[in-house]
Amino acid sequence: MQKLSLTIFFFAIAVGVAYYFVYPAYQEIQGIDAENAALFEVAKEMRDLVEKKKELEDIYNSVSENDRKRLEALAPSNAKLADFIVILELLSARNGVPFNSVAITEGGAEPGSSLVPLSISLGLNGSYETLKGYLRDIERYVRIIDVQSIGFSAPAEPGAPMPITFVAKTYETK
């Protein structure tokens, strides 16, 4: 009986010692397993992102270089704003509607959009017929231009060009 109680006593001590040393290691292994699961989730997310990137690159590469240039012309970057003003002035000179003022204001871009609206106000001088020719040329121009308002009043003197106000919206890429 004494051997049995001594065996149970040593067995209990062995279990206690094992619990004291093994349980912290077991806790550490569980923490490592949780970290591994999180890392596997991140790796899966990264693989999905790489796959999505490849899909987007394929779509981008499927668009021809000529089409990309045409898309850039629809809403060019801010660096090309001066070229745009020069073209507007050339169109006005070609149609006999000279500038007398230009004002450009930047509107706020919508969240998630890469396009920034620009409001352009032009002060012009000309006749109704020359204004029609100018609008026709602007309509044919490749860049997106939304005419918002056109105002004109009677000339100060008979035969003088009438003052015209022209407000339009165009877009640039960020």
158-173: per-residue pLDDT in tens? 878 889 998 998 888 7
Q: What is the mean pLDDT of residues 14-40?
A: 85
> Which is it for the CA torsion 91, 95, 98, 103, positive or negative?
negative
Q: What is the mean pLDDT of residues 16-26?
A: 81
Rg of the chain, C-alpha, whole Å: 37
CATH number for 118: 3.30.70.60
Question: Does residue 174 contact residue 114 with C-beta atoms inside 8 Å?
Answer: yes
CA distance 121 to 119: 7
Total domains in the chain come to 2
Among 62, 89, 114, which residue terminates a domain? 62
Question: Does residue 101 contact residue 88 with C-beta atoms inside 8 Å?
Answer: no
Range of the domain at 19: 1-62
Burial of 160 (0-12, 13-18, 19+ CB in 10 A): exposed
From 25-34, 41-50, 104-113, 135-144, the region with the lowest mean pLDDT? 104-113
The pTM is what? 0.54
